Structure 1
Amino acid sequence: MTAITHTRDDFPDGFVFGTATSAYQIEGHAQGGAGPTHWDSFAATPGNVERAENGDLACDHLHRWEADLDMIRDAGFDSYRFSMSWARLLPDGRGTPNAEGLAFYDRLIDGMLERGLKPAATLYHWEMPQPLADMGGWRNADMPAWFGDMTDLVARKFGDRLWSVAPINEPWCVAWLSHFMGVHAPGLRDIRATARAIHHVLKSHGTAIGVMRGHGMTNLGAVCNFEYPHPLTDSPEDVAAADRYDGFYNRVFLSGLFHGRYPDNVLEGLEPHLPSGWQDDFGVIQAPLDWLGLNYYTCKRIAHDDTAWPALKEVDGPPPHTQMGWEIYPEGLHHFLTRTATDYTGDLPLYVTENGMANPDVIRDGRIDDQPRIDYLNSHLASVRRALDDGAPVKGYYVWSLMDNYEWSRGYDQRFGLVHVDFDTLERTPKASWHAVRDMLVSA
Structure 2
Amino acid sequence: MTSFGLPPGFVFGTATAAAQIEGGVHEGGRGESIWDAYARTHKNILDASSAAIACDHYHRYAEDFDLLQGLGGQAYRMSIAWPRIQPLGRGPANPEGIAFYHRLLDALLDRGIQPWVTIYHWDLPQALQNAGGWQNRDTVDAFADYTRILRDEFGDKVAAWMTVNEPVVHTGIGHAIGRAAPGLMMLGSAFVVAHHLLLAHGTAVHTLRETLSSPVGIVNNHSPVQPATGSDRDARLAVLYDRYHNGQFAGPVLTGRYPPELEEVDGISFEVIHDGDMEIISAPLDFYGVNYYFPTRVGAAPPFYPVPFAPKKFVGVPVTDFGWPVMPASLLTILKQLKAAYPQLPPVYITENGCAYDDGPQDGLQRSGSGLQDTRRIEFLEQHLAAVGEAIAAGIDVRGYFHWTLLDNWEWQEGYTKKFGLVRLEPATLERIPRASFHRYAEIIRSTGSPP
- Indicate the residue corresponding to 2:365 in structure 1: 363
- Distance across 2 between alignment mates of 1:275 and 1:408: 32
- Indicate the residue corresponding to 2:5 in structure 1: 10
Which of 94, 97, 101 pairs up with 1:98? Answer: 94
2:209 aligned with 1:205 = no
- Indicate the residue corresponding to 2:349 in structure 1: 351
Would the aligned equivalents of 1:330 and 1:379 in 2 still touch at CA under 8 Å? Answer: yes
Compute the displacement of 1:172 (Å). Answer: 0.6
Which of 212, 230, 234 pairs up with 1:234? Answer: 230
- Distance across 2 between alignment mates of 1:313 and 1:192: 14
- Distance across 2 between alignment mates of 1:408 and 1:276: 29
- Distance across 1 between alignment mates of 2:136 and 2:266: 17
Would the aligned equivalents of 1:121 and 1:162 in 2 still touch at CA under 8 Å? Answer: yes
> 3-state SS of the aligned residue for 1:59?
coil
Identify which range, 376-385 or 339-348, moves more after superposition: 339-348
Would the aligned equivalents of 2:338 and 2:345 in 1 still touch at CA under 8 Å? Answer: no
- Indicate the residue corresponding to 2:183 in structure 1: 187
Would the aligned equivalents of 1:31 and 1:56 in 2 still touch at CA under 8 Å? Answer: no
Q: Which amino acid aligns with 1:228?
A: P
> 3-state SS of the aligned residue for 2:43?
coil
Would the aligned equivalents of 2:2 and 2:8 in 1 still touch at CA under 8 Å? Answer: no
TM-score (norm 1): 0.95
- Indicate the residue corresponding to 1:312 in structure 2: 309
- Distance across 2 between alignment mates of 1:376 and 1:422: 23
Would the aligned equivalents of 1:123 and 1:168 in 2 still touch at CA under 8 Å? Answer: yes
Q: Structure 1 residues 272 and 386, CA, compared in 2 at 3 Å: closer, same or farther?
A: closer
Identify which range, 7-16 or 394-403, moves more after superposition: 7-16
Would the aligned equivalents of 2:189 and 2:267 in 1 still touch at CA under 8 Å? Answer: no
Would the aligned equivalents of 1:206 and 1:287 in 2 still touch at CA under 8 Å? Answer: yes
> 3-state SS of the aligned residue for 2:311?
strand
Q: Which amino acid aligns with 1:194?
A: A
Which of 42, 47, 58 pairs up with 2:43? Answer: 47
Which of 45, 54, 69 pairs up with 1:73? Answer: 69
Q: Which amino acid aligns with 2:313?
A: D
Compute the displacement of 1:275 (Å). Answer: 4.7
- Indicate the residue corresponding to 1:405 in structure 2: 409
Would the aligned equivalents of 1:206 and 1:286 in 2 still touch at CA under 8 Å? Answer: yes
Q: Structure 1 regions of 5+ residues with no counterpart?
A: 1-5
> 3-state SS of the aligned residue for 2:47?
helix
TM-score (norm 2): 0.93
Q: Which amino acid aligns with 2:50?
A: N
Would the aligned equivalents of 2:5 and 2:393 in 1 still touch at CA under 8 Å? Answer: no
> 3-state SS of the aligned residue for 1:122?
strand
Q: Structure 1 residues 124 and 347, CA, compared in 2 at 3 Å: closer, same or farther?
A: closer
Would the aligned equivalents of 1:191 and 1:273 in 2 still touch at CA under 8 Å? Answer: no
Q: Structure 2 regions of 5+ residues with no counterpart?
A: none
For residues 8-407 of structure 1, the aligned pairs below 5 Å read: 8=3, 10-28=5-23, 29-191=25-187, 193-269=189-265, 272-278=268-274, 280-305=276-301, 310-318=307-315, 319-346=317-344, 348-361=346-359, 363-365=365-367, 367-407=371-411
Would the aligned equivalents of 1:30 and 1:57 in 2 still touch at CA under 8 Å? Answer: no
Compute the displacement of 1:51 (Å). Answer: 1.8
Compute the displacement of 1:32 (Å). Answer: 2.4
Q: Number of residue pairs matched? A: 439
Would the aligned equivalents of 1:402 and 1:418 in 2 still touch at CA under 8 Å? Answer: yes
- Distance across 2 between alignment mates of 1:417 and 1:326: 16
- Indicate the residue corresponding to 1:3 in structure 2: none
Describe the superposition over 1:114-148 as per-residue Cα deviations: whole angstroms up to 9, x where unpaired: 11111100001111101001011110011110100
Would the aligned equivalents of 1:36 and 1:91 in 2 still touch at CA under 8 Å? Answer: yes
Q: Structure 1 residues 229 and 347, CA, compared in 2 at 3 Å: closer, same or farther?
A: closer
Which of 427, 438, 441 pairs up with 1:434? Answer: 438
- Distance across 1 between alignment mates of 2:4 and 2:245: 34
Describe the superposition over 1:131-176 as per-residue Cα deviations: whole angstroms up to 9, x where unpaired: 0010111100111101000000000000111110011100111111
Compute the displacement of 1:264 (Å). Answer: 1.8
Compute the displacement of 1:112 (Å). Answer: 1.1
- Distance across 2 between alignment mates of 1:128 and 1:224: 18
Compute the displacement of 1:300 (Å). Answer: 2.1
- Distance across 2 between alignment mates of 1:111 and 1:345: 39
Q: Which amino acid aligns with 1:157?
A: E
Compute the displacement of 1:230 (Å). Answer: 2.3
Compute the displacement of 1:357 (Å). Answer: 0.2
Identify which range, 35-44 or 258-267, moves more after superposition: 258-267
Compute the displacement of 1:346 (Å). Answer: 2.8
Q: Which amino acid aligns with 1:382?
A: A
